[in-house]
Amino acid sequence: MSYLINPYMVEAESCLLWSQTTGTLDNGQNTNSRGWSIGIDSGNVNIGKTLTQFSLWLYTNNASISQALVFGVWASANHTQTPSSAFTGSLTNNNQLSGSFVEYEFTGSHTLALNDRIGITWNGSLSYIIQNQIANGVSITPNTSFWIWINSSSAWHNYGTTNVQNTNAYQC
């Protein structure tokens, strides 16, 4: 006999890799950045698990700009703007963003490894994308770091552990 009222709730919770959903910092309009991601650092309990879905909280302060957005996972050796594993969702362009934070979900598949990065990039002109982050040690997701794609050097840079993206990540 099962005493579960809604067995799907238990299944969804068991699929959760991490949930970082309380943000204190908006970060956008840096003319040098063309993307953000959360990095998997040494000791992260999710190394070896398969990420199948993640979410980000995003908005724009200039929806008139049309700028293609790319979502996914960048493997540790991948320092390009093209993800090693692309993830898809309903959001594909800056002009689809609203003027306030909305959670967007993306699906795909990638087995997480040390120094992988999960997030978003865009190319070309500044697209006025604002993301929600955790700042200055407030409930930081364990063993993760914040990475920014820097256009001027055409590479990902680790900006450390004091800021991370608000994300939910799932393995099913």
pTM: 0.85
Parent domain of 117: 15-170
> Which stretches in the chain have pLDDT values below 50?
1-4, 6-11, 138-139
| CATH number, domain with residue 90 | 2.60.120
Amino acid making up residue 102: V
DSSP class of residue 89 equals: -
Residue 5 lies in a domain: no
pLDDT score of 63: 85
pLDDT score of 118: 96
35 token code pair? 């993307």
pLDDT score of 7: 47
pLDDT score of 105: 97
pLDDT score of 31: 62
- Cβ 29 vs Cβ 58: under 8 Å: no
In 3D space, the residue among 122, 171, 169, 146 whose CA is nearest the CA of residue 20 turns out to be: 169
Q: What percent of the chain has pLDDT over 70?
A: 83
How many domains does the chain fold into? 1
Three-state DSSP state, 68: strand
